[in-house]
């Protein structure tokens, strides 16, 4: 059908869909005609989706019926684009006559032509994924067929997927092509379970899916893991389940809870620019002999380069020298290798800024421990600079978050730094209480005061819903804006303790 619609080699094809079997099929059909998959985040505003469609030059759009209804005005504006509804219409929905309907017409285009018959080069693009927050300076990350293939096989080994695995789609498929699991699960013939109601994911539905389908593997941000902990049920249900997590670091309490329930938690680290998971906290054989507290501490680190990453991982100082493996010296994480992106689509300035000297400069700051395991400390832009009696210190917001999250009753926490009056940096801590949590600002302050140096103790504490992207990353820009607004208004609801 894509060939019938005029999709040629190198043409971009947009994909706007929630998790579905059709989305998986599209991840094979589009590359099979030499096209380039351009996945759009269905949860961002219509105008942002429109901007990305126009910027990518995608003339053919594959979309689910529900999203065609949700973004109706958007598709009215894109009247010259070819739109294909890829699933059955919802009962109350109406599909425009001008849309192609795959479910109706697919039988006309059945073919036994091998999928890879028309691929010319493994270095040709297979996908473009826009980084979160893309606005005036679009960053569409370009992957090659080679990168996607090798990354998928790396994920097979990283997750220990096999023919007997049952992979549950708890991860959004549009996000970095489902971390490459779109292709990895198929590569080994694992059964894939697609829950079309994933948007309403909760502890009850997760429990039901895990038990009814015999789920062995799933993946997602730490908030997915929290769903598993939010309901008390027979803990043996989770015994043997493998869960890959990343995007944000899991809390110590969450990590310990997973271990107690027999869950194999794989903590990974990667970015859009690395096809997703690139670094993994691979457990060493002797870890099982250590105390639970020690094991949890080790598992919170991001780890070592995955098999597909090879030797393409460094942590360097400002002079491009590798930092010592002392667990203290801070440096920027650099990546290179087969699964690193080719650059940003039609944005040479952005590409040149971070893809240089053969390395992708991530902007993430980390230390390397004596055993070679990497630990992310913060985004370069989120480091908090404070003045002490002996000079300026770089404070990792994640370090403070890890300390605060160890307090019972804390469900989630985020820390930001802003310039206060007189440009003196202010550290603000946002928190969410767990269901039965009994904590307040004073308790959190005392806990931080006990476990952190004075210059790292937050000065402001705010209980609020912590904003996150669709993929679970905290939107710290919004938190900073909220702090500045409250500081400017001298809002009485802000508790100042220092």
Domain ranges of the chain: 12-120, 148-380, 383-496
pLDDT at 132: 61
137 phi and psi angles, rounded to 5 deg: -125, 80
Angle of CA points 61, 67, 69, to nearest 5°: 110
Same fold, 12-120 and 148-380: yes
Gap between the Cα atoms of 140 and 344, Å rounded = 5
What burial letters (b/e) apply to 392-426, b meaning 16+ CB within 10 Å? eeebbbbbbbbbbbbbebbbbbbbbbbebeeeebb
CATH topology of domain 12-120: Rossmann fold (3.40.50)
Contact 366, 427 (CB under 8 A): no
> From start to end of 2-81, where are the E strands?
12-16, 36-39, 60-63
Beta strand 242-245 with 217-220: parallel, antiparallel or unpaired? parallel
Q: Report whether 333 contacts 365 (CB < 8 A).
A: yes
pLDDT score for 42: 87
Q: What is the DSSP letter of 47?
A: H
In this prediction, residue 474 carries a pLDDT of 84
Identify the residue whose tokens are 């039988």: 107
Integer Cα distance of 251 and 7 in angstroms: 46
CA 52 → CA 16, 290, 477, distances in Å?
11, 49, 21
3-state secondary structure of 292: helix
CATH superfamily of 383-496: ANL, C-terminal domain (3.30.300.30)
The answer to whether 196 and 234 are in contact (CB under 8 A) is: no
Residue 57 burial (CB count, 10 A): 14
425 close to 386: Cβ distance less than 8 angstroms:
yes
pTM: 0.81
DSSP tag of 424: -
In three-state secondary structure terms, 461 is strand
Q: What is the pLDDT of residues 24-47, one digit of tens each?
A: 999 999 999 999 999 998 888 888
At residue 461, what are phi and psi to the nearest 5 degrees? -130, 130
Weakly modelled stretches of the chain, pLDDT under 70:
89-95, 115-116, 132-137, 196-201, 230-233, 380, 385, 387-394, 420-424, 470-472, 489-498
Reported as half-sphere exposure (CB side, CA atoms, 13 A), residue 231 has a value of 15
Q: With beta carbons less than 8 A apart as the criterion, state whether 188 and 39 touch.
A: no
Task: Give the three-class secondary structure for 241.
Answer: coil
Q: Phi then psi for 345, rounded to 5 degrees?
A: -60, 125
Helix, strand, coil percentages in the chain from 3-state DSSP, rounded to 5: 35, 25, 40
CB 203 within 8 A of CB 231: yes
CA distances, 492 to each of 65, 358, 429 (Å) = 47, 51, 16
* Predicted local distance difference test score (pLDDT) of residue 391: 47
Q: What is the pLDDT of residue 236?
A: 79
DSSP string, 308-375: TTTT-EEEE-TTSPBPPSSS---EEEEE-STTS--EETT-HHHHHHHEETTEEEEEEEEEE-TTS-EE
Q: What is the pLDDT of residue 350?
A: 92
Q: Which CATH class is domain 148-380?
A: alpha beta
């Amino acid at each position: 059908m894509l060939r019938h619609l005029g999709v040629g080699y190198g043409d971009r094809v947009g994909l706007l869909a929630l998790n579905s079997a059709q989305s998986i099929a599209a991840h094979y059909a589009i590359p099979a005609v030499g096209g380039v998959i351009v996945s759009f985040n269905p949860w961002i505003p219509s105008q942002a989706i429109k901007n990305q469609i126009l910027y990518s030059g995608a003339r053919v759009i594959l979309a689910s019926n529900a999203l065609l209804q949700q973004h109706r005005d958007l598709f009215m504006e894109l009247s010259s684009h070819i739109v294909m509804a890829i699933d059955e219409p919802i009962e109350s929905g109406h599909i425009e006559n001008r849309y192609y309907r795959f479910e109706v017409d697919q039988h006309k285009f059945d073919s036994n032509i091998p999928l890879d018959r028309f691929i010319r080069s493994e270095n040709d693009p297979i996908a473009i994924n826009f980084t979160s927050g893309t606005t005036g300076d679009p960053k569409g990350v370009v992957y090659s067929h080679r990168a996607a293939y090798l990354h998928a096989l790396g994920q097979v080994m990283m997750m220990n997927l096999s023919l007997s695995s049952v992979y549950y789609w708890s991860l959004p498929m549009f996000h970095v092509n489902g971390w490459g699991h779109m292709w990895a699960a198929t590569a080994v013939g694992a059964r894939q379970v697609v829950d079309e109601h994933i948007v309403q994911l909760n502890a009850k539905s997760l429990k039901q899916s895990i038990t009814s389908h015999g789920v062995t593997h799933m993946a997602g941000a730490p908030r997915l893991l929290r769903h598993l902990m939010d309901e008390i049920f027979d803990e043996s249900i989770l015994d043997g389940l493998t869960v890959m997590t990343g995007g944000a670091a899991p809390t110590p309490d969450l990590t310990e809870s997973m271990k107690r329930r027999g869950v194999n938690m794989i903590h990974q680290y990667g970015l859009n620019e690395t096809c997703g998971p690139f670094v993994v906290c691979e457990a060493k054989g002797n870890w099982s002999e250590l105390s639970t507290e020690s094991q949890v501490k080790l598992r919170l680190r991001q780890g070592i380069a995955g098999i597909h990453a090879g030797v393409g991982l460094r942590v360097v100082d400002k002079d491009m020298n590798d930092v010592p493996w002392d667990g203290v010296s801070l440096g920027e994480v650099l990546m290179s290798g087969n699964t690193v992106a080719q650059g940003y689509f039609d944005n040479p300035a952005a590409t040149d800024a971070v893809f240089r000297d053969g390395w992708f400069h991530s902007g993430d700051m980390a230390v390397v421990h004596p055993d070679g395991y990497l630990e992310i400390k913060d985004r370069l832009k989120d480091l908090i600079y404070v003045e002490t009696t002996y000079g300026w210190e770089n404070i990792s917001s994640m370090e403070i978050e890890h300390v605060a999250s160890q307090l019972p009753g804390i469900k989630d926490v985020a820390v930001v730094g802003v310039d206060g009056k007189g440009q003196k940096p202010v550290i603000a801590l946002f928190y969410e209480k767990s269901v039965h949590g009994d904590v307040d600002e004073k308790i959190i302050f005392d806990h931080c005061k006990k476990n952190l140096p004075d210059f790292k103790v937050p000065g402001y504490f705010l209980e609020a819903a912590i904003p996150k992207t669709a993929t679970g990353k905290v939107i710290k820009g919004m938190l900073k804006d909220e702090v500045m607004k409250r500081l400017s208004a001298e809002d009485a609801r802000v508790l100042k303790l220092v």
